[in-house]
Amino acid sequence: EVQLVESGGGSVQPGGSLRLSCAASGFMFSSYEMNWVRQAPGKGLEWVSYVSSSGSTIFYAASVEGRFSISRDNSKNSLYLQMNNLRAEDTAVYYCGRRGDSSGYYVDYWGQGTLVTVSS
Partner 1 sequence: QSVLTQPPSVSAAPGQKVTISCSGSSSNIGNNYVSWYQQLPGTVPKLLIYDNNKRPSGIPDRFSGSKSGTSATLGITALQTGDEADYYCGTWDSSLSAGVFGGGTKLTVL
Q: Which chain residues interact with partner 1 by CB under 8 A?
A: 35, 37, 44-47, 50, 59-62, 95, 100, 102-113
Backbone angles phi and psi of 90, in degrees to 5: -85, -5
Question: Closest approach of Cβ 19 to partner 1, in Å?
Answer: 21
Residue 62 burial class via C-beta count within 10 angstroms: exposed 0-12, middle 13-18, buried 19 and up: exposed
Nearer of residues 76 and 105 to partner 1, judged by Cβ: 105
Question: Closest approach of Cβ 92 to partner 1, in Å?
Answer: 13
Nearer of residues 73 and 108 to partner 1, judged by Cβ: 108
Nearer of residues 89 and 108 to partner 1, judged by Cβ: 108
Question: Closest approach of Cβ 76 to partner 1, in Å?
Answer: 23
Backbone angles phi and psi of 111, in degrees to 5: -75, 180
C-alpha pair distances (Å), 58 with each of 2, 53, 96, 111: 23, 10, 15, 20
